Amino acid sequence: MLHPVARYESKHDPEQLDSTAALALELALNRAFVVALLLTRQEELAEQAVMKGIDRLKPGALTADAILNETLQSCELSDVSVCCDSEIAEERSSNFLPPALQAVTRLAPLYRQCFVLRLLVGLSRDASGRLLQLDASHVDAFASAGAQQIAGV
């Protein structure tokens, strides 16, 4: 599989990227990967979501927000099989994350996904609800429960 920057360049005009834009692209792709990893807890699924997100980008739509949005749309979060909670997935995902984010991977799937989308990414509860196919009123409750678990309350 191509590195995300190479994948982007193979689909879009690499001549448009100066060194500053290339660095911004790499940072945006790394952020999208970490968010996808927190949401799915599986490196392969996170990588696939980023790659699908790149494929979905429209030419000229190279912004950090567009990359993240397309990656989120590609995570298939409503698919229960994607949300599996195996210890192996937790171990693998934790290897790539700083200690402060490792606690997030230990949350139950809905708590984790709501916490990540609402508190780490900053999406509205309506947008989070649409991505997760949940009633928006439940999103904040799950995010809050996740935050309380992480805090040990």
- Residue 3 has a pLDDT of 54
Are 150 and 118 in a shared domain?
Answer: yes
Are 84 and 40 in a shared domain?
Answer: yes
CA distance 68 to 117: 11
Q: Please tell me which residue, 121 or 11, carries the higher pLDDT value.
A: 121
Into how many domains does the chain fold? 2
Task: Read off the pLDDT band of 147 (50, 70, 90).
Answer: very high
Q: Please tell me which residue, 73 or 22, carries the higher pLDDT value.
A: 73
Is the model's pLDDT at 123 over the cut of 90?
A: yes
Are 82 and 129 in a shared domain?
Answer: no
Is the model's pLDDT at 149 over the cut of 90?
A: yes
Is the model's pLDDT at 48 over the cut of 60?
A: yes
Are 4 and 63 in a shared domain?
Answer: yes
How does 117-151 read in b/e, with b if 16+ C-beta sit within 10 Å? bbbebebebebbbebbebeeeebeebbebbbebbe
**Does residue 114 contact residue 142 with C-beta atoms inside 8 Å?**
yes
CA distance 146 to 149: 5
Residue 86 lies in a domain: yes
pTM as predicted: 0.80
Average pLDDT, the chain: 81
Residue 116 lies in a domain: yes
Are 15 and 82 in a shared domain?
Answer: yes
Is the model's pLDDT at 64 over the cut of 90?
A: no
**End position of a domain, from candidates 65, 95, 125:** 95
- Residue 21 has a pLDDT of 75
Is the model's pLDDT at 94 over the cut of 90?
A: no
CA distance 18 to 60: 14
Is the model's pLDDT at 47 over the cut of 60?
A: yes
Are 91 and 122 in a shared domain?
Answer: no
71, 98, 110 from 91: Cα distances, Å? 23, 13, 19
Are 60 and 37 in a shared domain?
Answer: yes
Is the model's pLDDT at 77 over the cut of 70?
A: yes
Residue 102 lies in a domain: no
Are 4 and 76 in a shared domain?
Answer: yes
Domain ranges, residue 28: 1-95
Are 139 and 75 in a shared domain?
Answer: no
- Residue 100 has a pLDDT of 79
